[in-house]
Structures are given as C-alpha cells and as structure tokens.
Structure 1
Amino acid sequence: MGLASNAGFDVPVVPDAPDARDWLLEELSKPEYAAARPSLFDILSQRFFDWLLRLFQPGESVPLDWLPVAIVGLVVAGLIVALLIWGVPRVNRRSGAATGLFGDEDRRTAAELRRDAAAAASAGNWTLAVLEQFRALARGLSERTIVLVSPGTTAHDFSLRASGAFPPASDDLANAATIFDGVRYLGQQGTADDYERVRRLDARLQGESPRRHEAVDAEVPA
C-alpha cells in the first residue's frame, strides 16, 4: 500500500493546453525574466548593426535604405571641408547695410548717407546733416567689416568698438557719439562745427587701416 502511494507521487503531471499556457505566463511574469527582456534601445541597436552588416556581406545586394544616410553624410562632409578651407563666411556688405542703424530702419549705403549729409549741410539743415554724417561714419566701418553695427547698437557702443580698431581716434569718436546723442535724443540743434567735426573724422578713418584685432585683445586689461 505504501509502495503504491509512493509510486503515485513519481508519476509526472502532464497539463492540458490551457494549464500549460497559464503556467508559462506565470513563469515568464517572474522578475528575473522581466529583467532579461531586451529594451527598446537594445532592439534599435540590434537593428542598426544588422543594417550595417548587410552593407558588407559578400554576395548580397546593397540595400537601398542606405542611400539617404549616405547623401546626408556626403553633404555634412562637404560643409566641414568648406569650413576648413574658406572659414565661416562673413556677412556681405549689402545684407549688413539692410539692418537697422541706431534705432532707425535704414538701408542706405555709406556713400548715399554721405551725399544726403552734404545735401542737408548745403541747405543749412545742420541737425539733419550731423545725424546723416554720423550714420555714414558707422555704416562705412560696418561695410568694411571693421565694426559690426546691429539694430541694438548705440552711438557710444559703436564709438567704443571703433576706438579698439582706431585707438588714436578714440577721443574724436567719443565726441562724435556725444554730438549724435545730443541731437538725436536730447533735442539739441546741430551746428556747422558739429557737422564738420564728424565729417572730418569720417574722411580720416576712410584713409586709415584698423589695428589688428589680436593687438586689441592683447591690450585689454585683466
């Protein structure tokens, strides 16, 4: 009797299909199996490496899905080579002239501003002549890519930057900026002397070469 009962325990239990499925799902839900599942990163990485292997397998046709990647890679490589050879392109003169100038939208070139300043001076409108001549001074240095004049640049900001390129003219540049601010914002009337001082400064800087930027940076006090 005892032997029969012991033998009964040795007979393996064969579950039917529903029980087997339930047991499998229960087993796979354990934490150790969940930790072993591949993550989304693992799946994407495997697909990427499979794609690379397809490119180099002998006897296999080259997959067409590599063409967009190759085209983008060639474009990026071409841009890098162009930057290494020619450097970062500067803003051209015409695009720089189209920006704002001391709070006003002004697309005139330095030559046009100088002509307008001279016309205002001939008419005796010294206030307008001073404003136009200072704008011509700033636009001229901007066209020469010596001083960058952005829409938010003030007259004194411009004079400080220009002084770094033309140190001997720093006092005259500061005085010209003061004259411009007085006429433009404080309601002062321009005079023939004011106009002539700014005009002479503009003509002087047209004939001078700026100091190298490396020298300007080297002399900045710590």
Structure 2
Amino acid sequence: MRATVLAHFVPPLDPDAPEARRWVVDELAKPEYRAAEPTLFDLAAQAVRDWIASLFSGATGLPVPALALVAVLVVAGLVGLGLLVFGLPRLRRRAPSPVPLFDDGDVRDASALRRAAERAAASGDWRLAVEERFRALVRSLVEREVVRVHPGTTAHGMARAASAPFPAYGPALEHAADSFDGVRYLGHDGDAGTYAEIAALDVGLEATRPLEETATARAVGADA
C-alpha cells in the first residue's frame, strides 16, 4: 500500500511533449538561470564585436596597412560616437590656495583689497588706505603670476622681484614699499598724496605687460 502511494507522487520518467516543455520553462524560470542571462550592455558589446569581426571576414587578401587603417578608422569612429553621446571629459583643475601676504594671514584677493583701500581713503584713514592699496598691488602681481610670495616675504623683497619684469616701475615700487613699511611698522600716518601714488602705481602695473624674458613668476623669499 505504501509503495503504491509513493509511486503516485513520483513524476513520470517519460513525459509527453507538452509536459516536457512545461518542465523546461519552469526550470529556466528559476532565479539562478535569470541571473545568468546577458544584460543589454553585454548584448550591445557582443554586437559591436561581431560587427568589427565581420569587417575583417573574407578580407585576407587586403594588405596589412589597409587592415590597420580600417582598424584605426573603426576605433576613431567609436571614440567620436562616445564623445557625441557623453561629451568631452572635463579636467578639474584645483585652484591653488592663496598665499598670505607678509606673514599676517591675509588671503584677500586684489579686488577685495582695493575696495578696502577705497573705503579707508573715503573715511580719511590714510594709514589703512596706504597699507591696503599696497597689499592690493602685491596680490595683483601674485594673481597674474608675475611674482610668488613665500613666508618671510618683505615689501622691499617684492619690490625688487617685481622690478625685473617691470623695470620702468622699479623706483616707484621701492618708494611704495617704503611707504608701506612706514605706515605698518614705523607708525607713520600716511596721507592722500602717498595713497594716490600707490593707487596710480597699481593701475599702471595692471595695465602694463611684463617683459617676456622675465614673465615667469619670480619667487620672493625673506631675503629677496
């Protein structure tokens, strides 16, 4: 009796055609078979490989240079297609961090320093106006990569370095450095005339192209 019951649940070993198809469909529907199916990317890559292979099929009579040319054209076409679809790659250049001027942590750009100088001049604070405008002059030269400042850079070191690409402004740069040292370190009050001189020097340097042979940024050290 027990053998009869077990035999009732044993699947037939010789199914008919519809039953066999159903077994195959059920088996292929299992997750492990679905995961093994090729993706759309796999199918596209295979299609490209087949297409390239078809270009060379039956081409044994072509000389090697001709085959190489065909291969180059195919690769160039694929690269061009990729650029059309995805665009040109963008190289991200990280802007260098601004270097503080004169060891006091000031990293403002030239425009900000000029605005600060103009506000100080408008309020009659000539000491601050002279100092800020000289800083603006130096920062402008650094931003233009005419000079490079380092820890320990002095006002006169900057003036000497900037005099090489701007020889006509050498004396004015030295005088401006004297004025900066006077208001910053010697307690001078500054005045409207000194501020106007440094402002005119800043404008003149901004409008002047440095000499070609000295256009490369010159490093300015503590003893420069």
Q: Structure 1 length as normaliser, TM-score? A: 0.53
Contact residue 127 and residue 189 of structure 2 kept, 8 A: yes
CA–CA separation in structure 2 for the residues paired with 1:206 and 1:167: 14
Show the counterpart of 1:116: 116
Report what 2:181 is aligned to. 181
4+ residue runs of structure 1 moved beyond 4 angstroms?
A: none
Deviation at 1:114, TM superposition (A): 0.2
> Cα–Cα, structure 1 residues 156 and 91, in superposed 2: closer, same or farther, change >3 Å?
farther
Q: Deviations over 1:160-211 (max 9, x none)?
A: 0000010000000000000001111111111111111000000000000001
Q: In the alignment, which residue of structure 2 is the partner of 1:142? A: 142
SS of equivalent residue, structure 2 residue 147: coil
Partner in structure 2 of residue 205 of structure 1: 205
The structural deviation recorded for 1:129 is: 0.3
AA aligned opposite 2:153 = T
Displacement of 1:213 in angstroms is 3.4
Residue 130 of structure 1 aligns with an amino acid whose one-letter code is: V
Unaligned runs of 5+ in 2: 1-92, 217-224
Residue 195 of structure 1 corresponds to 195
Alignment partner of 1:103 is 2:94? no
Give the Cα separation in 2 of the matches to 1:124 and 1:183: 14
1:1-222 to structure 2, matched below 5 A, reads 92=95, 95=97, 97=98, 99-213=99-213
Aligned amino acid, residue 202 of structure 2: D
Bigger helix share:
1
* TM-aligned CA deviation for residue 91 of structure 1: 9.0
Percent same amino acid among aligned pairs?
48
Give the Cα–Cα distance (whole angstroms) in 1 for the partners of residues 129 and 151 of structure 2: 21
Deviation of 1:131 (Å): 0.3
User: 1:174 corresponds to which letter in structure 2?
Assistant: E
- Distance in 2 (alpha carbons) for counterparts of 1:149 and 1:176: 17
Q: Secondary structure at the match of 1:197?
A: helix
**Structure 1 residue 118: Cα displacement:** 0.3
Q: Secondary structure at the match of 1:142?
A: helix
What does the per-residue CA deviation read over 1:111-137, in whole Å, with 9 as the maximum and x for residues that have no partner?
Answer: 000000000000000000000000000
Matching residue's letter, 2:128: L
Q: Relative contact order (C-alpha < 8 Å, sep 6+): which is higher?
A: 2
Q: Is the 8 A contact 2:165 2:215 kept in 1?
A: no
Q: Distance in 1 between matches of 2:94 and 2:143?
A: 10
TM-score of the two chains, using structure 2 as the length reference: 0.52
- What CA distance in whole angstroms lies between the structure 2 residues aligned with 1:158 and 1:150? 10
Structure 1 counterpart of 2:151, one-letter code:
P
> What is the count of residue pairs matched by the alignment?
124
State the SS of the aligned residue for 2:205: helix
| In 2, Cα distance between equivalents of 1:135 and 1:178 | 13
- Letter paired with 2:120: A
Contact 2:164-2:214 within 8 A present in 1 as well: no
Structure 1 gap ranges (5+) = 1-89, 217-222
Relative to structure 1, the CA distance from residue 214 to residue 164 in structure 2 (aligned partners, 3 Å threshold; closer, same or farther) is closer
Deviation at 1:107, TM superposition (A): 1.6
